[in-house]
Amino acid sequence: MPHRSNIGKRINVSHPILLSFLTHSHAPKLSVSDKMASGEVKLIGAWASPFVMRPRVALNLKSVPYEFLQETFGSKSELLLKSNPVHKKIPVLLHADKPVCESNIIVEYIDETWSSSGPSLLPSLPYDRAMARFWAAYIDEKWFVALRNFLKAEGEEEKKAVIAEFEEGNALLEKAFIDCSKGKPFFNGDHIGYLDISLGSFLAWLRVTELAASYKLLDEAKTPSLCKWADHFCNDPAVKPVMPETAKLAEFAKKIFAKPQA
Amino acid sequence: MAERSEDSEEVKLLGMWASPFSRRIEIALTLKGVPYEFSEQDITNKSDLLLRLNPVYKMIPVLVHNGKPISESLVILEYIDDTWRNNPILPQDPSERAMARFWAKLIDQQICVAAMKVAGTIGEERDAAVEETRNLLMFLEKELVGKDFFGGQSLGLVDIVATLVAFWLIRTEDLLGVKVVPVEKFPEIHRWVKNLSGNDVIKKCIPPEDEHLEYIRARMDKLNIKSA
């Protein structure tokens, strides 16, 4: 597991480049991807944000050490405003001081930059890649919006309508999972990938919402494959350290939703 | 089950002649020299084919390749770049690719929305929408400094996506009755529009101006939007 502090100075003899140096008579050349991958990595974010969780899982999957720069809730640091002048939002990845913004875009950047490390986060076939991108966009633009509307809904009628919309989305994602996973545990196959990360990052907030509403938003009876997938996702070693604890997140949610209207 | 080799390479595009999202797919396919069959769709009376191929959004464009449908224009553009590797739309460098995707998303999710607000509102609300559109466009203005196109010396993803600004927003300013993108404030964008207008692929793939303006005028009348 990569540490959040600086890279240790110990020489790891199993490191591929060092091993190659020891076994070949000539000094190995750094590959293009290694050159691209060098440089300090920092991530501006916050522990509770599902969007911030996405690049964190990706960096973990690629075993890339990074410094996590936590923003204080309610204010934006100078570095954030300078690094993301357009949206002024987290997450922002800083790689050798170059900023990359927008969570799904950052995940692709991580996959392309550290392509020789860890599993590929996107499938290899163009059509499968298109499906991953399509559903990731659907999750952000429709599914998550329905989840947010559920939190805001007032009265039984409105709640019923939002739940119906949300469950329609779940049914679509259940089918998408079966199509994409092709019998494997994740949308991306054997390993967590771009689409797993895009949906999985919302699971902690989903659980908090279920608790607050006393309603099962992800139901084993209705979406059995998604529920199994959620279990696998949450238990993955790349995910566990960065998935907010439900109780801690519920407390945080109470605090931020209790703020008086401006 | 013997398939003709031509069938397995068949590319079909369900689109609409006046839609910026449909035209951008035509630009990408033409740029790469990919032959395709175009199927004009009536979006006011959606065909069974469209509903079957895009059940989630029921919208054009839909690209069908090897019998498999792909929807959402940005997803389709990336698919085209992944599949036909000549004349790449996206740069090689990961941080440049990330920037291109960033601008494409900004154009579709914010600039396009703000521009539609300009068309659909009046008075103070419209003034606010104009200002919002201009603030967003200023980022694109700065991106173009020292470049012929967003993609550098040739068309890239952002150019293709931003044709929405060139040929749907700027083109309809007279009809809207407000110069959202005045040349004094946006000299680089206007220089870029000139570059685009001189490009053979763009010339071939954008809607003919007179018919396009007539269509928009008719739509504005139908939606009771005052046209200048």
Task: List, for residues A162-206, the tens digit of each pLDDT value.
Answer: 999 999 999 999 999 999 999 999 999 999 999 999 999 999 999
* Domains of chain A by residue range: 32-113, 126-256
What integer pLDDT is reported at residue A201 of this predicted model?
A: 98
3-state secondary structure of B5: helix
The CATH fold of domain A32-113? Glutaredoxin (3.40.30)
Separation of alpha carbons B129 and B121, rounded Å: 8
What integer pLDDT is reported at residue A12 of this predicted model?
A: 42
A172: chain B residues, CB-CB within 8 Å: 56
Closest CA to B189 of B154, B155, B138: B138
The CATH fold of domain B11-83? Glutaredoxin (3.40.30)
Closest CA to B19 of B112, B149, B126: B112
Among 3.20.20.150, 1.10.3720.10, 1.20.1050.10, 1.20.140.10, name the CATH number for the domain at B94-222. 1.20.1050.10
Q: In this complex, which of B70, B72, B94 lies closest to A137 when CB atoms are compared? A: B72
Cβ distance of A102 and B75 shorter than 8 Å = no
CA distances from B16 to B47, B85, B93 (A): 12, 26, 33
Q: In this complex, which of B74, B82, B98 lies closest to A126 when CB atoms are compared? A: B82
Q: Are the beta carbons of B115 and B123 closer than 8 angstroms?
A: no
What integer pLDDT is reported at residue A262 of this predicted model?
A: 53
Task: List, for residues A49-106, the tens digit of each pLDDT value.
Answer: 999 999 999 999 999 999 999 999 889 999 999 999 999 999 999 999 999 999 999 9
Q: B61 pLDDT exceeds 70?
A: yes
ipTM for the predicted complex comes to 0.94
A109: chain B residues, CB-CB within 8 Å: 94-95, 97-98
pTM, 2 dp: 0.90
B26 versus A26: which is more confidently predicted?
Answer: B26
Half-sphere exposure of residue A220: CA atoms within 13 angstroms, side-chain side: 2
Separation of alpha carbons A207 and A209, rounded Å: 5
Q: Are the beta carbons of B199 and B155 closer than 8 angstroms?
A: yes
Kindly state the helix (H) or strand (E) to which residue B3 belongs, with its residue range.
Answer: none
Task: List, for residues B95-134, the tens digit of each pLDDT value.
Answer: 999 999 999 999 999 999 999 999 989 999 999 999 999 9
Mean pLDDT of chain B: 94
Cβ distance of B82 and A113 shorter than 8 Å = no
A133: chain B residues, CB-CB within 8 Å: 72, 74-75, 78
Does B141 touch chain A if contact means CB atoms closer than 8 Å? no
Mean pLDDT of chain A: 88
The CATH fold of domain A126-256? Glutathione S-transferase Yfyf (Class Pi); Chain A, domain 2 (1.20.1050)
* Domains of chain B by residue range: 11-83, 94-222
